[in-house]
Structure 1
Amino acid sequence: MTLIARTRARAVETLSLDSPHNRNALSAALAGELAAALDGCARDGDVRAVVLTHTGTTFCAGADLRDPPDPDALVALLRQIVELRKPVLARVTGHVRAGGLGLLAACDIAAASSTSTFAFTEVRIGVAPAVVSLPLLPRTDPRALARYYLTGERFDAAEAVRTGLLTTAGDDVDAVLEPVLDGLRRASPQALAETKRLLTARVLEAFDRDAGDLTALSARLFSSPQAREGMTAFLERRDPEWAV
């Protein structure tokens, strides 16, 4: 079963997360297929830009709790998006949770429909948004992250734009993205690659500095008793034992 659908129009490759059985959660298999698809885009001289989108009503529900990717593999995937020498755009028309927000932050431009919702739900299952912080912390308002990391609250597209998680939002996300894609198609491939390198330098510094510590933190938390209780409670659709 293919988990990444691919289409192309006028030099823009669209990669759609297509795993409806788990709301496009980041399983080891989906992460591997997405990495392979991105590698193909990197090697294809006819691809000017990449759009990362989804089927169904959820862009990405976060890590697949039954089959999560290895933390090192997730770091590699996020870095691959940041380092790709072509612009990567996120197109969201639904909900984004937990690790899915790391995918958004790794993209150069992120657009969503005005009805999309977002939440860092890690704290509610006993873990922290560790690895996904690598692209998030350099690009997103720190006071907003403090609130939403710590509470797990849901927020809307307008708030996501205000905090820097999204570039833009609107009722029709394709209409919002149309002038952006037109601009990319008019740009020199060399100029796009070098401009992206300038824009991502500080993000990659965070990867170089913090990736080891954050993968270790992620592995430690996911193997903890509280995380086991939190994930079990989530799968059983009940409150975890610490909820008051």
Structure 2
Amino acid sequence: MKRTDEDGIAAVVLDSPHNRNALSVRLAGELTAQLSRAAEDPAVRAVLLTHTGETFCSGIDLAEARAGTGLTAEQLTNLLRMVVEMPKPVVARVTGHARAGGLGLLGACDIVVASPAASFAFTEVRIGLAPAVLSTAVLPRVDSRAASRYYLTGERFDAAEAARIGLITLAADDVDEALEPVLAGLRAAAPGALAAAKHLTTTAARQFFGAHASELAALAGRLGAGAEAREGIASFLERRSPVWAATRFSLRKESR
């Protein structure tokens, strides 16, 4: 995990290329620590969350999940809640793929700008899971019809579609150029007023967390302990189709 500060913006970089920036226990812990430090740093006006490589975040670390040492539903819930509730805006710069729990991170962020190189998918159903915990951050933002389609099918969609359905703020050919007025505006804002404005814009998400977080974490735990999840995670790691998949479908042809 890398962090560099420039003119009040703390750039936090997801930098775990060996697992495509999957949310391992270590990466999630480092991200939590960086966000906590940024929240308490009076010199920081906002956080810019970005990544190395071609993947923003591939979701939870499935190798850890298979071994029983992975991020728990409660830990993921707490990470997403932290992004939503921290008093400083979190802006995501996305120039690569986002899958599963990575979309939860994007839903929790206040502003998300993505390039045409980015792609998105709620792939949980294809490995015997459901987008349970990430729903705390995603469902308050995303069009309900689109959520039904992409939750149920696991289809990939592009940045333009992600913007249309409300998962991201803006699809832009030049992400850095598009971010310039965003970051300039955040730098120009009064810190207290900025925190108050964020509190207003996260009302629906905070209410959703309060009403549903425990229920969704419990659902994620039950599914994660089930036979379908064991088979789905094993098939993904072994690069084969799960036993329930139709013959035309192969995880080898669909990036997670």
The answer on 1:21 being equivalent to 2:18 is yes
- Distance across 2 between alignment mates of 1:77 and 1:115: 26
Partner of 1:113: 115
1:138 is paired with a residue of what secondary structure? coil
Unaligned ranges ≥5, structure 2: 65-69, 247-256
1:215-241 Cα shifts (integer Å, max 9, x gaps): 110011011001100000000111100
Partner of 2:145: 143
Partner of 1:181: 183
Partner of 1:160: 162
Report percent identity of matched pairs.
60
The answer on 1:235 being equivalent to 2:237 is yes
Q: TM-score, normalised by structure 1?
A: 0.98
**What letter is aligned with 1:212?**
S
- 122, 128, 133: which is aligned to 1:126? 128
- Distance across 2 between alignment mates of 1:13 and 1:183: 15
Partner of 2:37: 40
1:80 is paired with a residue of what secondary structure? helix
Cα offset for 1:115? 2.0
**What letter is aligned with 1:193?**
A
Mapped contact 2:63–2:237 kept (Cα < 8 A): no
- Distance across 2 between alignment mates of 1:204 and 1:219: 22
Cα offset for 1:66? 1.9
The answer on 1:69 being equivalent to 2:58 is no
- Structure 1 residue ranges, 4+ long, deviating more than 3 angstroms after superposition: none
- 5, 8, 18: which is aligned to 1:11? 8
Partner of 2:209: 207
Superposition RMSD in Å: 0.6
- Distance across 1 between alignment mates of 2:117 and 2:227: 36
Q: TM-score, normalised by structure 2?
A: 0.93
Cα offset for 1:170? 1.1
- 40, 49, 53: which is aligned to 1:52? 49
2:91 is paired with a residue of what secondary structure? strand
- Distance across 1 between alignment mates of 2:242 and 2:28: 28
Cα offset for 1:186? 0.7
- Distance across 2 between alignment mates of 1:32 and 1:75: 13
1:69-107 Cα shifts (integer Å, max 9, x gaps): 111111111010001101100100000001000000000
- Distance across 1 between alignment mates of 2:191 and 2:170: 24
**What letter is aligned with 1:123?**
V
